[in-house]
């Protein structure tokens, strides 16, 4: 005979076994945990889809319904780009700033642009000289213009 309060009971052969009521509770908790994990993943994915601007219609909906990869921004962005479901204007403000800086440094905005790497470098040096504290200096060094210059070849002519 088993006592409902005992965790371990003895079976007919005298072996110790877990109380059946506790087993049932563990199974129920495992089901609840699995459901909670599923809800968390779905919530994470919905937030990522919203952030990336992936619609809930057409082929984008098919992508959303069938995506089974990691629920991370980069993983979803990568998979979504393969299926061409990202909105065409999915470049964020930070990337736009970097692109603009690269255009200025490379002179790629239009054929009449005379701004070159040396002019940009001189502008940055002037800003650095005017910096009043280390925070301003760090902000200038982290700017898209400086990052774009870091990838430019150095000429000693």
How confident is the model at residue 70, as a pLDDT?
92
> Has residue 157 been placed in a domain?
no
* Same domain (yes/no): 133, 77: no
How confident is the model at residue 113, as a pLDDT?
41
Decide which of 30, 52, 82 is a domain's last residue. Answer: 82
Alpha helices in the chain (DSSP H): 20-52, 58-66, 73-82, 93-106, 117-130, 134-141, 144-150
- Give the chain's domain count: 2
Whether residue 19 is predicted with pLDDT greater than 90 in this model: the reply is no
* Same domain (yes/no): 78, 99: no
d(CA 97, CA 35): 42
* Same domain (yes/no): 38, 69: yes
* Same domain (yes/no): 20, 73: yes
* Mean pLDDT confidence for 22-36: 91
> Has residue 1 been placed in a domain?
no
d(CA 105, CA 101): 6
* Same domain (yes/no): 63, 12: yes
> Has residue 88 been placed in a domain?
no
Q: Phi and psi dihedrals of 113, rounded to 5? A: -70, 120
pLDDT tens readout for residues 69-106: 999 999 999 999 888 888 876 555 556 667 777 776 66
Tokens of 132: 């009043």
* Same domain (yes/no): 15, 78: yes
Owning domain of residue 128: 93-150
- Could you please report the per-residue DSSP string of 26-68? HHHHHHHHHHHHHHHHHHHHHHHHHHHT--SSHHHHHHHHH--
> Cβ(54)–Cβ(85) under 8 Å?
yes
């Amino acid at each position: 005979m088993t006592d409902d309060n005992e965790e371990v009971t003895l079976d007919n052969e005298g072996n110790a076994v877990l109380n059946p009521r506790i087993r049932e509770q563990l199974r129920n908790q495992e089901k609840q945990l699995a459901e909670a994990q599923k809800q968390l993943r779905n919530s994470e994915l919905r937030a990522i889809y919203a952030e990336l601007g992936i619609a809930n219609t057409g082929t984008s909906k098919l992508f959303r319904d069938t995506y089974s990869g990691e629920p991370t921004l980069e993983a979803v962005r990568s998979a979504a780009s393969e299926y061409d479901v990202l909105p065409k204007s999915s470049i964020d403000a930070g990337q736009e700033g970097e692109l603009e800086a690269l255009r200025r440094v490379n002179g790629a905005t239009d054929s009449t642009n005379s701004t070159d790497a040396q002019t940009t470098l001189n502008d940055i040096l002037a800003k650095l000289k005017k910096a009043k504290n280390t925070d301003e200096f760090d902000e200038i060094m982290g700017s898209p213009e400086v990052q774009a210059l870091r990838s430019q070849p150095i000429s000693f002519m």
